Structures are given as C-alpha cells and as structure tokens.
Structure 1
Amino acid sequence: MSVLDTGVILAYFLLLIVVGILGAKKAKTAEDYALAGRNLGLFIYLGCLSAVILGGASTIGTAKLGYQFGLSGMWFVFMIGLGITLLGLFFIRQIYGANVTTISELLGRRYNQEARLISAIVAAIYTLMVSVTQVIGMGSIIHAVLGWPMTTSMLVGGGIVLFYTILGGMWSVTMTDIIQFLVMTIGIFFIMLPMSLSRVGGWEALSQQLSASHFDFTSIGWSSIFQYFLLYTLGMIVSQDIWQRVFTARTTKIARGGAVYAGVYSIAYALALSIIGMCAVIVFPTISDPQNVFASMSLAILPHGLLGLILASVCSALMSTASGTLLASSTLISHDILKQYWLKNMSDQHVVRLSRIITLVVGVIAIIFAIWIQDVLVALDVAYAILSGAIFVPVILGFFWKKATAKAGLYSMVISSLVVFAGLALEGLSSTKPIMYGIVASIVSMILFSYWRPASHLQPDHQVVIEEWEDEQKVL
C-alpha cells in the first residue's frame, strides 16, 4: 500500500461520514428514518437494493469459493440473486401495498401480536448476525491492506458505519449506498475483473492452466448448492433488511422491477468474483487463508491509486450491507417490540431518538460478536439458518394458505426457532441440517395446529383478523 492508496481509502471513509451527516438533516420523522419517506425512484432503489444484498460475504466469500471451486463458487451469490428475483416476481404485490414497516408487523396482521413479537426477535437476531459478517469482512480488508490488528480494523470499519447509520437512518444509508453501488460496480466489473484476466494472460490462458473441475458449474457439490438455496434463496424472500428496502420504493412497479434487476445484477456479480478467484489460483498457487484471496489479488495486480479504489469498492459492499442490517435490526426492536409493548404513546420525534439509541446498542453488539467469531461464511450461515428455518414457512403459508391460523403461525415460529438453535448447538454452526430441521418442524407445526384449531373454531376476534387479511390481499 502506498500513501496514495491509503489516502484514497481514508478520503472515501470521510466522504461517507459527510454524506451520512447530510442524510441526518432529511430524517425528520420515524418513517423518514426507517424508510426514507417511501419515495425512491428506480435507479436509486436499484442501487440501494443491490448494495444491501451484496455485502462482504458476497465479495470476499465468492472470491474465496472461486479460488477453491472455480465457476461453481458462484452458486453462493447466485442463490441470493435468485431469491431477490423471486421476491420481485411473486411477492412484491402482496407486501408493498400493505403499508407496513417490518415483516413482523405484517405477520402480526396475518396471525396475532404474539406472532409479531416472536418474528421480530428472530428477524432481529438474523439482521444482527448479517451485520456481524460485514464487520468481519471490513476488518479482514483493513487488516490485510493497512496491517492493523484485526480487532482494531473491525472497530474502525464498524464504527464508521455505525456513525452515519445512527445519524440519518435510511436517508443516510440511501445516500451512501448510491455512492457504494457505483464504486463497487466500477471496481469489480471495470477494473478488477479485466485486470485479473489480463494478469493471467486472458480467458484462454486461464482455461489452459486450470483443471477442468474449475470450469464445472457443479464441482462444489449438489449438497452445497442445495444448502445455498435453503439459506439464501429462501432467506432473501423473508429478510427484513430486504423488505425494508422494498418499502422505500415510490411505487409497486418500481419495487418489483428494481428487485428483478437487482437479482440479475447479483448473478453477474457472482460470476465476476468467481473468475477473479480462479485467476488467483494462478497468481497464488498456495495461500495460507483463502478468505484473503480478494485482498491479496488486489495488492498483487493493481497499480497505486487503483488499488485504493478497489479496496474502497470492497469496503463499499461491506458497509452498505452493514448499515442496512443494523438499521433493520434496530427498526424491528424499536417498532415491533419496545413501541408495541412498553412505549406505546411515544411521539414521532421520540421514536427517532429511540431508533438511534437502539442502532447504537445493536452496532456495539455486532462489533463484539464480530471480534469473537471472525469467520464471514460461518456467521452468515448462522444468520440465514435462523431466518429461513423459523420465518419462511409462516410467511409463505400466511400468504397462500387460508387455513393457516394465528396459533399455528405463533407455535410454528416458536418451535422451529428452538429446533434451529438446538440443531446449531448439536450439529455445529456450519451444518446444513439445522435449517432443514427447522423448516420441517415449521411445516408440521403449521399443519397440525391449523387443523387442530381450524379457523371455524377460532374466537370471533381472530376470525375477523383472518377475514380482514383475506380482504386486504384481494385488494392488493
């Protein structure tokens, strides 16, 4: 790293802080702070949505998988792109017009307030764990390029994101995300990818130097591909940080189109990072930690100045997801837990203040967890296992199965959450089995409790809730 590269990265950090301060001036109400006033156009919405789904694990993790498995390493982010595309095609219509702030609020309407509370807790844990992955990623990049201790690197990176997120909420996140989307697009597609291929002599030379398994799209194994589908495709559909971005769109058409375009962008991003990882096999035949592949490639092939820009682009991907998930977690806690049960009569100004305090607390916890775990993909697996295993089935059946009852939705979330946590404890944090256990437990619970206490035997007020939900879905 030269003084020029370090200067570029530090200047970029300073720019984000300044933009975050400017965004704070626009966050006047609770809706401004949580949803940027529900007023984003297509380009800004697309940039924000792409930035939040493609974070540190997507960038660092896909380059790592590309190094280890070749083109097959793209399945990780491919499934993220597939999930966001399916969300846009099949679910935006149901969720956008509901005029809610969180996924838990929608589940509260469909089932009951207890279901809202449980889902808020589960989704808040998920978003917290995704924030942890981004802090780990920022720490690994800063550690690799500046030589700072890993703990110090995570404190600096996480602290910057926490600062501008606290100030302006979704407005600050939106403004910084547009910058980050542009920087990461230019950095990955127009600089890092072509220069990586150039370093190894082009695509033809790469194909001659690597084994055939590196060009096999299934070399990572069908079990891993299925695991990514369970974790990320299903997780994207019921992810609070994604829904919160959907609610910022000005219209349903923008929300739907932007989600599909973001899914396509994600798949292209996955392919580009996998190829960069494959090039690293030629440049670094042996590397001590594959998680450092992207940073090592940047240091090896880029001239000064561009190196700083590329590393800033990686930090962009990390910071955008970190800020979005921090905000999502704090919104769930403040909007669906504290305000609903203890602080019911708060003014709008006090809600904004409370959201800032909760964002600070969540951010500090995320940094502490990041220092403890220090593995991007393990932390991300835990996050999506919790989300997909406990929330996916009640959300989907709530939309499409009229017989699903309030008690069934509640018990399903409680039982499947316990099953997922127990599975993670018994099988290990990186095991695929806990999420499958959770989904099976959730489906069985939904069916059993729905037929055991069918809608016709519900209390009158619960029957009214379901009828109102069905009428609302017909209108939407």
Structure 2
Amino acid sequence: METSDTIVLLLYFAVLIVVGIIGSRKSKSSEDYVLAGRRLGVFMNLGCLSAVIIGGASTLGTTSLGYQYGISGIWLVVMIGLGIMALGIFVVKKISGYKVLTISELLGKRYNNQTRLISAVVTAIYTLLITVTQIIGMGAIINVLLDWNLTFSMLLGGGIVLFYTILGGMWSVTVTDIIQFVVMTIGLFFIMLPMSLAKAGGFDHLLAELPDSYFSFTNIGVDQIFQYFLLYFFGLIVSQDIWQRVFTAKNTKTARISTASAGLYSIAYALAAAVIGMCALLVLPDLTNTQNTFASMAIAILPSGMLGIILASVCSALMSTASGGLIASATLISNDIIKEYFFPNIKDKQFITLSRITTLGLGLISIIFALWIQDILVALDVAYAILSGAIFVPLLAGLFWKKATAKGSFYSIIVSTIVILVGFAIDGLSATSPIIYGIVASVITMVSMSLLDKKTSVPVIKKGV
C-alpha cells in the first residue's frame, strides 16, 4: 500500500474517534447509553443491524470460502440473513413493548432470577467472543495490507473500537454503524466486486475457467451447510447484540421492516463476497493462506488511494460488529449481574459510569483473547455454538410454551452448555455434533423438567413491566 492509502485509513479512524466524543454528549441517560433512546427510524435501524451482522467472518470468511468452494461459500452469511429475517417475522412482535435491556432480563421476568443470571453469563461469553473475532480480523487485514506488526494491528483496531464505545455507548455505536454501513456497501458492491470481475475477465470467463462444482450451491457440503444453519440461523434469533439493535427501533413496524431488509442485504453481501473469492482463484491461484484472500485480492487489483477505501470498508464491517458485541456484553454484565446483585438501587448516571467501567474491562479482555486465539472462524463457531445450544430453546419455550417453567429453563441452559463444551473437547472445535447434542439436551431437559415441575403455571410476562 502507498502512503495515500495509509492516510485514508488513519483519517477514517480519526472520524470514528470524533464520533465517539460527540456520542458521549448525547448519552444523557442509561437508555441513551444502552439503546440510543429507543427512537431510531428504518434507515438508521437497518444500517445498525446490517453493520453488526456483517462482520469479519462475513467479509473475510465468505471471500475465503468462495476461493475454496465457489458460490456455495455464501451459506455462512445466508444463514445469518435468514436468522435475522426469522427474528423479525416470528420474535420481534412477541418481544416488542417489553421494557427490558437484554435477553436475560426478559428470561428473568418469564422464569426467575437464577435463569436471568445463568443466561446473562452464557450470553455475555458469546458476545465477548464475537468482539474477539472482529479484533482478530482487524489485525489480520491491517497486517496484510499495511504490513504492520500483527499484535500492534490488533491493539490499534481494538483500541479505537473500545474508545468510541466507552465514550458514547449505543449513540456512538449507532452513528459509527451508519458510517460503516455506507463505507462497507460502497467498498464491496461498487469497488471490489466490479473490479474483481473485470480483473478475472468477467463472469462468462469465470463460467468457462472454474470447475462446474464452483457453481453448485452444495459444493461446500450439506453437512457444512447444516452446521451453519445450527450455528447462525438459531444464533441470530437469540443474539443479544442483535436484540439490542432491535430495541433501538422507535416501534415494532420499524423493527420488522429493518430486520427483513437486513436479511436481504446479508444475502446480497454473501453473493458478492463469494464471487470476489471466485475471481481471486483465477487472479491469484497460488494463495497459501486463504484467510487473506480478500486482502490479497485488494492489493492485486486496486490502485493507490482506492485500496485505502477498501481497507476502511473492511475495518468498518469488523469494527461495527466488534462494538456491537462489546456493548452487548457490557450491558449483560452491568445490567443483569452487577446492578441486579450488587447495586439494585443505583442511580441512572451512576449506571452509565458502571457501564463504561464494565466496557473498559471487557474490551481489554477481548483484546487479550484475540492476541491468544488468532483464528477468526474457530472463535466465531465456538461463540455461536454456545449461544445456539444453550439459549435458543429456553427463550423460544418462554415466548411460545406456557408450560415452560423456571426450573426447566435454568437446568436446560446448564446441561446444554456442559454438553457443548464436553463435545468440543472430545470432537474438536470444528465439529458439528456438539451443537446438535447441546440443542437435543436442551430440549429434553427443558420439556422433562417443566412437565415434572409442580409449578407449571408460570405467568406470561406483561408488556411494559
């Protein structure tokens, strides 16, 4: 990269820092800090949702999968898109109107405080791992394109996200999300995709030169597609960072339109990223590390100056998801654990301070974990496996099954989490079976404990309570 590209990236980082400072002035209440005042319209809510679900794995991972498997590399992000659409169709109306900040708070009202606590812990681990994956991605992309030290690159990207998230909370995250949504859309759809196709000789040349398997939607393997379904479709429906964005919408109609639109955007994004990966196979047939497909392709086809815009667009996708995971994790810890058990009478401004301190601590932990793990897809799979296996069943049972009890919910989360972790220890972190075992264990525990429990008449929570 040329000096001009580095300047473009640094200017972009400076804009995000300024936005963080401005956002801090808008966060005058805890609802402002955590949910941006619950008053976002369709465009703002769509931008936030799209920015948070399209992260490092979506961009770098799908391009890498496109390089390896062709058009079937879309399934990771397609399942994310279908998951958020299902959230909008089946769940948003159910949860709209509840005066809660987190999934765990809703589960606490439906069941009891023990369920709220254990679900907060599990979900906070997931959201923290989401932040870790994005910091890994930022480090990798900056390292490849700027040739900066990998550790320094992670510290820089993670540090900027931590800075603006601490200062302005969801207001800063919302404004930076909109900027990042616009930048990553321009970068992928209007720069990388057309220039990749041009460099590869056009789509007709792809059809002629690539194996027929690269145009099969099942080339990646039905088992892999099923794993993505278990991880991302279920995971998106019960994801705190997504719910927190949904709660920022000004009404139910806005939230449903935004979730549906974000799902369609995700599917289009997946197709574009996979095609870029397929083009890269013709342009760069000898890549040894396919995780660097996107960055290597950008270096190969883009002129000076434009490369800096693409780097900013990738960092946009990574940073928006990182900040979403970070503030979600901090909200769970501060609202559902610290406030609930240690400072139940905390004042509003004190809660903002508590949230900032919690965000700082979790941000530092996520940077340390990113430096340790350094594999974006492995970290993402573990995060979604824990969430899908442990939280999905008790949440859906709580919303749709009146006989679900607190005891059934509490033990289903504990049993399924243990089953998933043991499954990963035995079968490996890339295995599908632990997720299946976890969901099955969760269903069996939830149903059996609820039916055996004498307290079967758990009242359905009232909206606004």
| TM-score, normalization by structure 2 | 0.99
| Whole-angstrom distance in 2 between the partners of 1:286 and 1:86 | 39
CA distances 1:301-320 after superposition (whole Å, capped 9, x unpaired): 01111110011000000000
Determine the structure 2 residue equivalent to 1:467: 459
Determine the structure 2 residue equivalent to 1:85: 85
Amino acid at match of 2:356: R
Amino acid at match of 2:410: L
Residues 145 and 295 of structure 1 are in contact (CA less than 8 Å); yes or no, is this contact kept in structure 2?
A: yes
CA distances 1:236-282 after superposition (whole Å, capped 9, x unpaired): 00000000000000010000110000000000000000000000000
1:143-182 counterparts in 2 under 5 A? 143-182=143-182
Determine the structure 2 residue equivalent to 1:203: 203
1:102-117 counterparts in 2 under 5 A? 102-117=102-117
Measure how far apart 1:431 and its partner are: 1.3
* Structural RMSD (CA): 1.1
Choose 377-386 or 433-442, whichever is displaced more: 433-442
Residues 110 and 459 of structure 2 are in contact (CA less than 8 Å); yes or no, is this contact kept in structure 1?
A: no
Determine the structure 2 residue equivalent to 1:348: 348
| Whole-angstrom distance in 1 between the partners of 2:460 and 2:331 | 26
Residue 285 of structure 2: SS of its match in structure 1?
Answer: coil
Determine the structure 1 residue equivalent to 2:386: 386
Residue 28 of structure 1: SS of its match in structure 2?
Answer: coil
Determine the structure 2 residue equivalent to 1:298: 298
| Whole-angstrom distance in 1 between the partners of 2:435 and 2:197 | 38
Measure how far apart 1:97 and its partner are: 1.4
Determine the structure 1 residue equivalent to 2:76: 76
1:232-243 counterparts in 2 under 5 A? 232-243=232-243
Amino acid at match of 1:364: L
Amino acid at match of 1:213: S
1:384-423 counterparts in 2 under 5 A? 384-423=384-423
1:77-476 counterparts in 2 under 5 A? 77-456=77-456, 463=457, 466-469=458-461, 472=462
Choose 430-439 or 307-316, whichever is displaced more: 430-439
Measure how far apart 1:454 and its partner are: 4.0
Measure how far apart 1:152 and its partner are: 1.0
Residues 88 and 259 of structure 1 are in contact (CA less than 8 Å); yes or no, is this contact kept in structure 2?
A: yes
Unaligned runs of 5+ in 1: 457-462
Determine the structure 1 residue equivalent to 2:50: 50
Determine the structure 1 residue equivalent to 2:11: 11
Determine the structure 2 residue equivalent to 1:459: none
Amino acid at match of 1:373: I
Amino acid at match of 2:357: I
| Whole-angstrom distance in 2 between the partners of 1:343 and 1:426 | 40
Unaligned runs of 5+ in 2: none
| Whole-angstrom distance in 2 between the partners of 1:253 and 1:51 | 20
Residue 101 of structure 2: SS of its match in structure 1?
Answer: coil
Residues 134 and 322 of structure 1 are in contact (CA less than 8 Å); yes or no, is this contact kept in structure 2?
A: yes
| Whole-angstrom distance in 2 between the partners of 1:216 and 1:257 | 31
Measure how far apart 1:455 and its partner are: 3.5
Measure how far apart 1:450 and its partner are: 0.9
Amino acid at match of 1:109: K
Amino acid at match of 2:459: E
Measure how far apart 1:468 and its partner are: 4.4
When the two structures are aligned, how many residues end up with a matched partner? 465
| Whole-angstrom distance in 2 between the partners of 1:10 and 1:175 | 18
Distance change >3 Å, CA 84–CA 468, structure 1 → 2: closer
Residue 391 of structure 1: SS of its match in structure 2?
Answer: helix
Residues 96 and 246 of structure 1 are in contact (CA less than 8 Å); yes or no, is this contact kept in structure 2?
A: no
Moved over 4 A (4+): none
Choose 69-78 or 141-150, whichever is displaced more: 141-150
| Whole-angstrom distance in 2 between the partners of 1:430 and 1:373 | 14
| Whole-angstrom distance in 1 between the partners of 2:82 and 2:32 | 29
Residues 130 and 383 of structure 2 are in contact (CA less than 8 Å); yes or no, is this contact kept in structure 1?
A: yes
Measure how far apart 1:403 and its partner are: 1.0
Identity %: 63
CA distances 1:193-217 after superposition (whole Å, capped 9, x unpaired): 0000000111001111100011000
